[in-house]
Amino acid sequence: MMRAEARVLLIGMGGIGCPAALVLAHAGIGHVGLCDDDEVERTNLHRQILFSDADVGTPKIDAALRALGRSGDVAYRAHRSRILPDNAVATVSQYDVVLEGSDNFATKFLAADACAIARVPVVHASAVRWIGTALAVGAAGGPCYRCLFEDVPAGDAPNCSEAGVMGPVVGVIAAAAADFALAIADGEAPFGELVTFDGRSGNLRRRSVARRADCPLCGYAPRIRGIESSAYVSPACAG
């Protein structure tokens, strides 16, 4: 498809979504959806580069749209809600590519499942402390997010304030994730490619991962065929 016609959805306007949005805008993507229901906090500013002190306390969507209005010729669409079990499939179905940079495991697994059901390619991106990852998944899966991480963690997982996240790490991962999304929009197929970045050593690796035969989403006998609300419960940190 032509980039000017491509439709890309960003799930989460945080440390990954902000720089990724700038890349997509300047790279010629014509239609970008922004999905978030959070407000800007002062602790966000070191890594969420679309925001400033003046934006603290305002919806991230509004602040992002003000900043992005100066970047490229793009039609933006605001989704002023989180991706939820009752809207996930319908929302991702409106786009050609999804770039998921949410801040919790439940949303990541929900996005993975919804994109598989809707047959929409998705790029998953996350960063905790010094380590970041980006994974490109095709419309048919194989491998998918569940091939690597299996399921929503049981019990409480640390949030960003507890685990910490380094601003430069999310910037690198956002660039890698946006690169995957642009490649998919251009008709390439980087599916199954995993980028990892270690902010302490500076090591950046790109390698292929394999589908897990017993994966419940894209394995040889998939069991996930719909969205069940009870399956997506657990907080965590992703940037």
Contact status, residue 142 vs residue 167, Cβ threshold 8 Å: no
Could you give the domains of the chain?
A: 3-231 (3.40.50.720)
- Determine the Cα–Cα distance for residues 68 and 47; give it in Å rounded to an integer: 16
Contact status, residue 11 vs residue 83, Cβ threshold 8 Å: yes
Q: What three-state secondary structure class fits 9?
A: strand
Residue 18 has a pLDDT of: 98
Return the percentage of the chain with pLDDT > 70, whole number. 94
Element (H, E) at 128: strand 122-128
Q: Measuring CA to CA, how many Å separate 220 from each of 147, 217, 223?
A: 12, 9, 10
- Determine the Cα–Cα distance for residues 39 and 13; give it in Å rounded to an integer: 10
2-26 confidence digits (pLDDT tens):
999 999 999 999 999 999 999 999 9
- Determine the Cα–Cα distance for residues 14 and 16; give it in Å rounded to an integer: 5
Phi, psi of 105 (to 5 degrees): -65, -40
Q: Which residues contact residue 234 at a Cβ distance below 8 angstroms, ignoring those fewer than 6 apart? A: 104, 105, 106, 152, 153, 154, 155, 156, 157
The neighbouring-strand residues paired with 207 are 194
Q: What angle do CA 84, 88, 90 make, to 5 degrees?
A: 140
108-163 confidence digits (pLDDT tens):
999 999 999 999 999 999 999 999 999 999 999 889 999 999 899 876 665 555 67
The neighbouring-strand residues paired with 205 are 196
Contact status, residue 24 vs residue 112, Cβ threshold 8 Å: no
Q: What angle do CA 29, 207, 140 make, to 5 degrees?
A: 60
Residue 214 above 80 pLDDT? yes
